[in-house]
């Protein structure tokens, strides 16, 4: 399938990688056996830093080019790691962290008891050094675990080790040695490679390269994303919410912001998910106009309800597989005159987790409930509450609190009985990790404290702020389109602005005015509907100049000249520089009309209160 130019630009930018010299050269059909002695370690084929090429990019790059060799990493705090690749897949990963040992992994997965591990280690240590089998082989031969459990532990061990390496700071350096096994004699001699794609989503949620995520999403901007014709979603091992969000873009391309609104992912997870789809090349980035053509083509090709194409039946002998149902779109707020809920009452994205099954023990059922409840309210907490520390906590105190919580909330420590709530636990741990990274860095903490002072320190409020800012941007574009008399585009933009922030009276007023410009809205009853839209805007704020002026124009259309002059007079009082409103008042008086000196509508009490989110973001002098 030919890809649009926008996709190629985004892909080139995202896939800039420093593995370019000897590792990228053309390889022969049969690869030479990797050198296996540190004494014969070759010269590095390539090197770089995580700041330029995060581990997730390295893993995808190695997989695409089927690299053979070893990548060694070294962080500024003296941590190290080694990764051996076979056929582009990590086969062995070694890192200096005790929690990565296979025995500990099997215990955390629930495949092994602590007492069984202790006995196995004692027996293993008593064997002659030259005849000791690998611990996994000893456990299988002893009948303590089976081969499937051992393989699951080895895969999880590699995933943990990769996340440990990915969490190293941006200054971490890496070096690639082509066709060289630096872990000769460690682990299984011919360990097969493990597909890294299923590990990427969890890696991003726990230790995402935030700078690269922000740069990638800024690069695509408001471009629409569409699932490619033959995606590899199965290999990514996504949850139901992620799959539904991705599948929905196949027929209805969406921007990153729209994906966050119409899915159950939430703002932060949606950004990470879009980044994952981009770096794994699961989506096309559509250029201007392409998204609309895809929507139109989908609508044109959709059969009428109940209709079946005879050609399709002849071409498909077996019953077709049912399509996945996209995640339902969140309904827009109803157009009522009452004040919409404040951002603090907006519910977090739902967790699709059932109640604890009756077969669970009392202890596991209590832990199940605790995880679900904490995941549901985690986005409404600020970073200090997430880590249970005071706002004057020092960085060492923050780090100590995080490490203590990690022992309880790291998803790898959940027993097998709590596997259904692993995603919920990952959400909590990812937030805690984000809080630790922010509060432990002086610069990031200073910026974050400004958000706390404004009352937007929780992820939920930050998500709401992002929606408000995006809505304001849409409204500004709608104003430009209105001036250019591009009423169709202006209406589409102002509808999106209203959906993102229904508390702004100007958005309601412009939407009602744009409706009044349509030919089908020229009848008196339709004009009255538009006036009611202006009334809703004025109910939100009695200083909405646009609403008064446009309501005056509509009243004038109905022949209600005195009511129109009251609105024009009020608009000119709010803004003395509104020349159009002042002119309408003068013309009415010149024609002999009575002065429109009736009192204006009284100010609403809520207008004198604290400014909303938009007012705090766009303060006027």
Q: Range with the lowest mean pLDDT among 179-183, 200-204, 450-454?
A: 450-454
pLDDT greater at residue 23 or residue 480: 480
- Is 60 exceeded by the pLDDT of residue 291? no
Contact 298, 252 (CB under 8 A): yes
- % of the chain exceeding 90 in pLDDT: 23
Three-state secondary structure call for residue 146: coil
Q: At what angle do helices 505-516 and 487-500 cross, to 10 degrees?
A: 150
Helix and strand element counts for the chain (H, E): 27, 7
Pairing of the two strands 173-178 and 89-95: unpaired
Q: Of 122-126, 297-301, 597-601, which one has max mean pLDDT?
A: 122-126
Q: For the residues of 494-549, what is the DSSP string, one character each? A: HHHHHHH-TT-HHHHHHHHHHHHTSGGG-SHHHHHHHHHHHHHHHHH-TT-HHHHH
Mean pLDDT of all residues in 498-502: 88
Query: Domain coordinates of the chain in residue numbers?
Result: 42-198, 208-297, 364-453, 461-617
The sign of the CA dihedral 409, 415, 420, 423 is positive
Q: What is the pLDDT of residues 569-599, one digit of tens each?
A: 999 999 988 888 888 888 888 877 655 554 4
- Exposure string of 117-126, with b = 16+ CB inside 10 Å and e = fewer, is beebeeeeee
Contact 527, 552 (CB under 8 A): no
- Is 70 exceeded by the pLDDT of residue 461? yes
Q: pLDDT value at position 89?
A: 93
Cα 20 from chain centroid? 31
Q: What is the pLDDT of residues 201-217, one digit of tens each?
A: 989 988 889 889 988 88
pLDDT greater at residue 193 or residue 291: 193
Q: What angle do CA 607, 465, 250 make, to 5 degrees?
A: 130
pLDDT greater at residue 488 or residue 351: 488
The three state secondary structure string of 223-289 is CEEEECCCCCHHHHCCCHHHHHHHHHHHHCCECHHHHHHHCCCCHHHHHHHHHHHHHCCCEEEECCC
> Which neighbouring-strand residues pair with 173?
49, 74
- Is 90 exceeded by the pLDDT of residue 191? no
> Which neighbouring-strand residues pair with 93?
83
Q: Taking the model in full, what pTM does it have?
A: 0.47
Q: pLDDT value at position 61?
A: 92
Judge residue 172's burial from the number of C-beta atoms within 10 Å of its C-beta, 0-12 exposed, 13-18 middle, 19 or more buried: buried
Contact 409, 359 (CB under 8 A): no
Q: Does domain 364-453 have CATH number 1.10.287.110?
A: yes
- Is 70 exceeded by the pLDDT of residue 319? no
Domain with residues 461-617, CATH architecture: Alpha Horseshoe (1.25)
Q: pLDDT value at position 531?
A: 94
- % of the chain exceeding 70 in pLDDT: 77
Q: Of 28-37, 218-227, 338-347, 524-533, which one has max mean pLDDT?
A: 524-533
The sign of the CA dihedral 157, 161, 166, 167 is positive
- Is 50 exceeded by the pLDDT of residue 621? no
Q: pLDDT value at position 290?
A: 62
Q: Range with the lowest mean pLDDT among 118-127, 145-154, 183-192, 209-218?
A: 183-192
CA atoms of 134 and 139, how far apart (whole Å): 9
CA atoms of 130 and 188, how far apart (whole Å): 15
Same fold, 364-453 and 461-617: no
- Is 70 exceeded by the pLDDT of residue 83? yes
Mean pLDDT of the chain: 77
């Amino acid at each position: 399938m030919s890809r649009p130019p926008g996709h190629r630009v985004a892909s080139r930018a995202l896939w800039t990688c420093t593995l370019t010299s000897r590792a990228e050269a053309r390889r022969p059909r049969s690869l030479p056996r990797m050198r296996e002695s540190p004494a014969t370690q070759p010269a590095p084929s390539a090197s770089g830093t995580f700041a330029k090429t995060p581990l997730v990019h390295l893993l995808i790059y190695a997989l695409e080019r089927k690299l053979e060799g070893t990548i060694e990493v070294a962080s500024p705090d003296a941590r190290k790691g080694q990764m051996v690749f076979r056929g582009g897949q990590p086969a062995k990963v070694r890192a200096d962290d005790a929690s990565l040992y296979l025995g500990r992994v099997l215990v955390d997965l629930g495949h092994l008891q602590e007492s069984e591990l202790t006995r196995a280690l004692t027996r293993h240590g008593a064997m002659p050094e030259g005849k000791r089998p690998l611990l996994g082989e000893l456990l299988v031969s002893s009948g303590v675990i089976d081969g499937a459990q051992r393989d699951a532990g080895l895969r999880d061990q590699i995933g943990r080790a990769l996340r440990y390496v990915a969490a190293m700071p941006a200054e971490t350096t890496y070096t690639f040695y082509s066709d060289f096994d630096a872990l000769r004699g460690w682990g299984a001699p011919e360990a097969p490679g493990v597909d890294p794609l299923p590990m990427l989503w969890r890696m991003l949620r726990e230790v995402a390269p935030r700078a690269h995520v922000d740069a990638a999403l800024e690069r695509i901007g408001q471009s629409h994303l569409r699932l490619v014709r033959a995606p590899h979603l199965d290999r990514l091992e996504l949850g139901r919410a992620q799959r539904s969000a991705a599948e929905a873009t196949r027929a209805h391309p969406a921007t990153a912001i729209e994906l966050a609104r119409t899915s159950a992912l939430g703002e932060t997870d949606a950004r990470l998910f879009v980044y994952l789809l981009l770096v794994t090349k699961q989506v096309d980035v559509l250029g201007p106009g392409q998204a609309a053509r895809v929507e139109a083509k989908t609508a044109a090709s959709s059969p009428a309800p109940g209709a079946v194409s005879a050609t399709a039946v002849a071409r498909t002998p077996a019953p077709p597989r049912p399509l996945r149902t996209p995640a339902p779109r969140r309904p827009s707020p109803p157009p009522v005159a009452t004040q919409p809920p404040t951002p603090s009452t907006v519910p977090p994205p739902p967790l699709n987790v059932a109640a604890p099954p009756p077969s669970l023990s009392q202890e596991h059922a209590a832990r199940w409930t605790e995880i679900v409840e904490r995941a549901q309210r985690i986005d409404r907490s600020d970073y200090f509450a997430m880590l249970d520390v005071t706002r004057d906590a020092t960085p060492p105190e923050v780090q100590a609190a995080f490490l203590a919580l990690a022992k309880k909330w790291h998803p790898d420590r959940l027993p097998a009985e709590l596997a259904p709530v692993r995603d919920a636990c990952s959400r909590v741990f990812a937030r805690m990790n984000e809080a630790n990274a922010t509060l432990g860095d002086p610069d990031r903490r200073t910026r974050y404290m400004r958000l706390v002072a404004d009352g937007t320190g929780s992820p939920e409020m930050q998500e709401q702020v992002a929606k408000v800012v995006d809505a304001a941007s849409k409204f500004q574009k709608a104003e430009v389109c209105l001036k250019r008399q591009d009423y169709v585009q202006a209406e589409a933009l102002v509808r999106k602005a209203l959906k993102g922030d229904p508390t702004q009276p100007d958005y309601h007023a412009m939407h009602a005015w744009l409706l009044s410009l349509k030919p089908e809205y020229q009848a008196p009853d339709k004009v009255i509907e538009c006036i009611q839209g202006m009334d809703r805007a004025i109910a939100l704020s009695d200083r909405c100049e646009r609403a008064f002026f446009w309501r005056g124009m509509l009243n004038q259309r109905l022949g209600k000249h005195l009511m129109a002059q009251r609105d024009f007079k009020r608009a000119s009082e709010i803004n003395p520089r509104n020349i159009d409103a002042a002119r309408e008042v003068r013309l009415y008086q010149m024609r002999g009309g009575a002065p429109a000196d009736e009192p204006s509508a009284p100010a609403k009490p809520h207008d004198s209160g604290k400014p909303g989110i938009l007012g705090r973001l766009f303060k006027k002098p």
